[in-house]
Chains A and B, each alone.
Chain A
Amino acid sequence: MSLSLDDVSRIARLARIEISSAEAEHTRAQLNGILAFVEQLQAVNTDGIEPMAHAVDVVQRLRADAVTEADRRDAFQAVAPETEAGLYLVPKVIE
């Protein structure tokens, strides 16, 4: 299957990446090239094969429910684009 320009803008919206109309056609062609390449997977019979999510079969480790991190809010917020009084600032979401 091949992506249309509408598909490309839908995917870009889901990915939260703005794509200008000038870029859209080139992006579409490149994505279709990659999808055509991975299409060969469809021809393989995988009936009864368990999907492999991880490289090594291990059980998820659990830890005690205890505080392990120090409070380093100031250091972490120092790299943020915009903060005030310990809060991250974003454009108004609720009117």
Chain B
Amino acid sequence: MTDFVNAGLRELGAALAQKQISSVELTTLFLDRIEKFNPTLNAFVSVGRDQALAAAQAADRKLGAGGTVSPLCGIPLAHKDIFCAEGWRTTCGSKMLADFVAPYDAHVVELLNAAGMVTLGKCNMDEFAMGSSNETSFFGPVKNPWDTACVPGGSSGGSAAAVAARLAPVATGTDTGGSIRQPAALCGLSGLKPTYGVVSRYGMIAFASSLDQGGPMARSAEDCALLLNGMAGFDPRDSTSLERPTEDYCRDLGKPLDGLRIGLPREFFGAGMDAGVRAAVETALAEYRKLGATTVEVSLPNSGLSVPAYYVIAPAEASSNLSRFDGVRYGHRAADYADLNDMYAKSRAEGFGAEVKRRILIGTYVLSHGYYDAYYLKAQKIRRLIAADFQEAFKSCDVIMGPTAPSVAFPFGAKSADPVQMYLSDIYTIAVNLAGLPGMSIPCGFDKDLPVGLQIVGPWFGEAKMLGVAHRFQQATDWHRRAPAAFAA
């Protein structure tokens, strides 16, 4: 009998195809686990038992009808609450959208629904994806399943906690500065941020449009590849969606690593990384050498500027994107106001939390008259330097590796008083967004009994190769199979 709670997508797909289990049974299994464990974890903002079971029944009919169905048909998943799903409350972790029921589907949701996947619910997240610990959510923080006194990372912390605790086989996430990779690392998952433009941003509530990218969060690289096959695709409704031939992201799974050149940026192995994280990453690199890869030192000389450049560019874009929340067409409207401007100012003051307001104010300032050149234009020039560093590094290596985060999951409150300290949680991930490259995190060991993530960065459109590189490691190790004991099946 298959262990459905811990099974990968390929096994679940096979079990559904062979009628070992129905989608309704599988969906019920996960809905029951959510009911049991979510009060402890707060990973879900909304759970839709009726909607999920109706979708599961439809999937069972598709599976029963014979003919070709998607390998994802009938498999349940959770969506980060940043993706609009028609008829589902879509909050983006904010009071501003606490009662917003989306009137349409995001492209990602549309594609996965069409494949026959079953939405279990919507996952908690940092408000408007701004945060690295899930502490900025209006709906309260998500707990890390490995230690409920610690943060799950952010902003896709609900998605990460849900998959780590086996409340969903896989989940969607989004990554603007590390929001898939850092929570994947802190919760012991595999997560991939694709090349900018591979996954449509349509219906994905905008934070920083030149950086935002959706991607899969799963227990294994193979599951990431299978889910990405379902999420990626050209969409004319996103002006930066890339029109490219369809790829099979599973095509390099099982490929040997002989001759693979792994670049190790010396800037990622300096001070600032915890000793236990360094040890786990070094052990993983030794494993890769054993598997036939070679390592070569590379340099990303401007990577130290990535966090400050990001905290100009991302707030600038956020201040523009979030100006749409005006209390007129959707979202929170204040009860009392004197005139139109007062209505805007009060609705936004009440609807947004502290971190979102800070970023809107910073963004407004750096874009304001007299400061645009000194801040925004300057940061965009530095962004080009950071991107060029990667191009130079990829001349001597096929993928780049290093830590995903400088430390394992930290206790609640540890970094919430000082915004800049929190921003530095993403010190190794942000440069990848600025350059638009694909990046992923896979579990590679433990420090202080908490998971450590290994980051893999590829050249543009290197997803399939990276997934192959990650999968080969997961065939040789079992870090990705470890489950937090308190939530084991």
A residues with CB within 8 A of B:
3, 7-8, 11-19, 27, 30-31, 33-35, 37-42, 44, 46, 49-56, 58, 60-61, 63, 72, 75-76, 78-82, 88, 90-93
Contact = CB atoms under 8 A, between A and B. Distances in A.
Given A17-B360, A42-B374, 10 more contacts: A27-B358, A34-B362, A38-B308, A46-B385, A51-B381, A54-B436, A55-B210, A56-B195, A56-B460, A80-B329
Nearest to B364: A15
Contacts of A81: 327-328, 330-333
A35 B381 CA distance: 18
Main DSSP-derived SS at the A contact region: loop
A78 to B, nearest CB: 7
A58 B460 CA distance: 13
B365 A37 contact: no
Contacts of B332: 81
Interface of B: 100-101, 103-104, 195-197, 210-211, 236, 239-240, 242-243, 302, 305, 307-309, 311-312, 319, 323, 326-333, 337, 339-346, 348-349, 352, 357-358, 360-362, 364-365, 368, 374-375, 377-385, 387, 418-420, 423, 433-436, 460
A72 B311 CA distance: 37
A11 B330 contact: no
Nearest to A82: B333
A95 to B, nearest CB: 11
A42 B375 CA distance: 8
Contact of B311 (A14, A16, A34): A34
A39 B345 CA distance: 29
Shortest 6 CB-CB contacts between residues of A and residues of B:
A55-B436, A51-B380, A55-B196, A81-B333, A52-B384, A46-B381
Nearest to A48: B381
A91 B236 CA distance: 36
Contacts of A50: 381, 384
Given A52-B381, A55-B435, A58-B242, A44 B357 contact: no
**Which of B211, B302, B330, B331 has the most C-beta atoms of chain A within 10 angstroms of its own C-beta?**
B330
Contacts of A78: 103
Contacts of A12: 345, 361
B383 A52 contact: yes
A86 B47 CA distance: 32
B312 A79 contact: no
A50 B381 CA distance: 6
B349 A38 contact: no
Contacts of A52: 380-381, 383-384, 387
Nearest to A75: B103
Contacts of A80: 328-330
**Which of A54, A60, A93 has the most C-beta atoms of chain B within 10 angstroms of its own C-beta?**
A54
